[in-house]
């Protein structure tokens, strides 16, 4: 693994971000707007129910955006190379696939830091919700969210390799298919029993449950954290395996060079 | 034929099938140091597939590809630091400036003296005045030259050019060919060059392989091939006639 080639990818995305305003908006405007929307909704519901609900909803939202952004960025950064017909130039360079994924992951991480800071400040200023009250637990929650976002993002990339760039928009859609089962805004217990089984297979569902436990009881549930981490390790392994199988398959079928 | 020690690229019994369709059918050739080999053939003959097999972007069914005497599959990253590729099908990102794009690729190829090398090549290809322009604002001829700058960035020992100047006007092609020839001699690189422009190939290639339906059907220098295929006492290469003759015969 050559750090300079990973740096090259980060540099490229930095240049793209400063030239393409939508990339800037992508990191800031979307999280800001969605936080405003849910903030007002939470305030309204909070007034008529309980004040703790605001924390559940806004905390859930902020953690969800971490997952959704990291995942989407991985696919989107790759799709830009496909749309701009640059992908063969990149794939014919000495860059390895591990370096390629590492570069995309770093770009996604740097963007999510900005998005998170913005949302944390806005939630504090407008809705008096301090996400930092989650303390170091926030870092542990983020670890599980980000690992699952990578697994899911790598799975998305494999699908794009397999089915071509027409499937690119799936990058935006897939995370939302998981949302109802992820118990982002409500506890797993309110889901029908079959859906609860699905929720228990999702590492991020344990993160959101853990956040609510922390906000309600002030306790970080290490058991949930470890279950989530164990599931993440399995999914990351499966995603990498699926990616390599798909990559070999598209090299055989010639689909890889048809991406442009 | 290049001496074993001088062989930069060796393709041996390469076969690539897509289901029942045989795209590359047991072709073998070598490319020596400083040699420019023209790969000719009609559309769908298997030229690009051969290049993608060499680059490892399409997995071959059988055969061997050795670059610098090493097996490509097990030395991919190391080999590719001394190889480069350009094609009219690939472009550099439109929303970056010329210089930014080249800077990114210079780091991907881990070259030294990045800025000096970029400026040197921009000067050679006469586009240094465009270094701050966005790629989307360049003409197609300027973009073709930029792709060539990217291809020469790492002083490749092996350069794969797949119709790099397709659809360019004759003036752009003429300038491009002259620049490639000069740099190729100066930096002693080996080039595998495909084009449908026969004049381009006559100008640049020492030797030619003509492939059709994935098979090598003729090879030799432009003048030898002309004499052999057209069966006359030709004094000048006439690859256009050779191309038409072979394509219609098969």
**ipTM value:** 0.89
DSSP state of B214: T
Question: Does A11 contact B104 at a Cβ distance shorter than 8 Å?
Answer: yes
CA B92, distance to chain mean position in Å, is 17
Which of A105-119, A167-181, B45-59, B97-111 shows the lowest per-residue confidence on average (mean pLDDT)?
Answer: A167-181
Q: Which of A19, A80, A93 comes nearest B105 by C-beta? A: A93
Ordered domains of chain B (ranges, CATH): 4-82+157-249 (3.40.50.300), 90-155 (no CATH)
For residue A225, pLDDT over 60 is answered with yes
Tokens matching residue B40: 């000719």
Could you report the per-residue pLDDT of B190-249, keeping only the tens digit for each?
999 998 888 888 888 989 999 988 999 889 888 888 888 777 777 787 888 888 887 777
| Adjacency order of strands within the sheet including B36-40 | B83-87, B158-162, B190-194, B36-40, B207-212, B215-220
Task: Give the pLDDT band (50/70/90) at residue A24.
Answer: low
pLDDT at site B100: 95
Q: Which chain B residues touch A88 with a CB distance below 8 Å? A: 57, 85, 87, 89-90
Closest CA to A29 of A156, A150, A122: A122
Distance from CA of A110 to the nearest CA of B (A): 18
Could you report the per-residue pLDDT of B86-105, keeping only the tens digit for each?
998 888 998 899 999 999 99
CA-nearest residue to B101 within chain A is A12
Question: Does B59 contact A19 at a Cβ distance shorter than 8 Å?
Answer: no
For residue A40, pLDDT over 80 is answered with no
CB neighbour class for A51 (10 Å; exposed up to 12, middle 13-18, buried from 19)? exposed
pTM for the model? 0.83
Mutation to test the B interface, candidates A4, A93, A103, most B Cβ within 10 Å? A93
Q: Average pLDDT of chain A?
A: 84
Mean pLDDT value across residues A52-69: 84
Q: Which chain B residues touch A4 with a CB distance below 8 Å? A: 107, 110
Count of other CB atoms within 10 angstroms of residue B57: 20
Q: Is B82 on the interface with A (CB under 8 A)?
A: no
């Amino acid at each position: 693994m050559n750090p300079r080639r990973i740096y090259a990818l980060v540099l490229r995305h930095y240049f793209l971000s400063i030239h393409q305003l939508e990339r800037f908006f992508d990191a800031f405007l979307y999280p800001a707007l969605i936080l405003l929307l849910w903030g007002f909704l939470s305030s309204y519901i909070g007034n008529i129910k309980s004040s703790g609900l605001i924390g559940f909803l806004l905390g859930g939202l902020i953690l969800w955006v971490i997952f959704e952004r990291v995942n989407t960025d991985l696919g989107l950064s790759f799709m830009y190379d496909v749309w701009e017909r640059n992908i063969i130039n990149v794939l014919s360079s000495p860059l390895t696939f591990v370096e390629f994924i590492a570069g995309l992951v770093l770009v996604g991480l740097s963007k999510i830091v900005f998005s998170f800071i913005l949302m944390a400040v806005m939630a504090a200023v407008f809705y008096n919700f301090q996400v930092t009250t989650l303390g170091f637990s926030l870092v542990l929650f983020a670890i599980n969210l980000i690992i699952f976002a990578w697994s899911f993002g790598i799975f998305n990339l494999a699908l794009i390799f397999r089915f071509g760039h027409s499937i690119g928009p799936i990058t935006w859609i897939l995370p939302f298919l998981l949302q109802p089962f992820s118990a982002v805004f409500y506890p797993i217990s309110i889901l029908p029993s079959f859906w609860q089984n699905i929720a228990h297979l999702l590492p991020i569902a344990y993160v959101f449950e853990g956040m609510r436990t922390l906000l309600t009881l002030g306790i970080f549930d290490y058991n949930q954290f470890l279950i989530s981490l164990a599931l993440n390790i399995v999914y990351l392994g499966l995603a990498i395996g699926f990616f390599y199988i798909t990559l070999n398959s598209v090299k055989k079928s010639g689909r890889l060079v048809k991406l442009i | 034929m290049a001496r074993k020690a001088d062989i930069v690229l060796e393709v041996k019994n390469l076969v690539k099938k897509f289901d029942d369709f045989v795209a590359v059918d047991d072709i073998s050739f070598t490319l020596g140091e400083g040699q420019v080999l023209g790969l000719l053939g009609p559309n769908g003959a298997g030229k690009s597939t051969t290049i993608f097999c060499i680059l490892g972007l399409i997995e071959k069914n059988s055969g061997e590809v050795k670059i610098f005497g090493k097996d490509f599959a097990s030395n991919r990253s190391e080999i590719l630091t001394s190889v480069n590729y350009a094609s009219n099908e690939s472009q550099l990102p439109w929303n970056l400036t010329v210089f930014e794009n080249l800077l990114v690729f210079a780091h991907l190829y881990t070259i030294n003296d990045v800025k000096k090398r970029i400026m040197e090549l921009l000067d050679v290809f006469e586009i240094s005045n465009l270094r701050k322009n966005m790629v989307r604002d360049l003409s197609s001829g300027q973009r073709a030259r930029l792709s060539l700058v990217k291809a020469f960035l790492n002083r490749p020992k092996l350069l794969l050019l797949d119709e790099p100047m397709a659809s360019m006007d004759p003036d752009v092609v003429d300038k491009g060919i002259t620049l490639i020839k000069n740099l190729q001699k100066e930096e002693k690189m080996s080039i595998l060059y495909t084009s449908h422009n026969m004049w381009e190939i006559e100008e640049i290639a020492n030797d030619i392989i003509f492939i059709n339906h994935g098979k090598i059907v003729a090879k030799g220098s432009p003048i030898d091939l002309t004499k052999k295929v057209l069966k006359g006492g030709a004094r000048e290469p006439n690859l256009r006639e050779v191309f038409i003759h072979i394509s219609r015969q098969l």
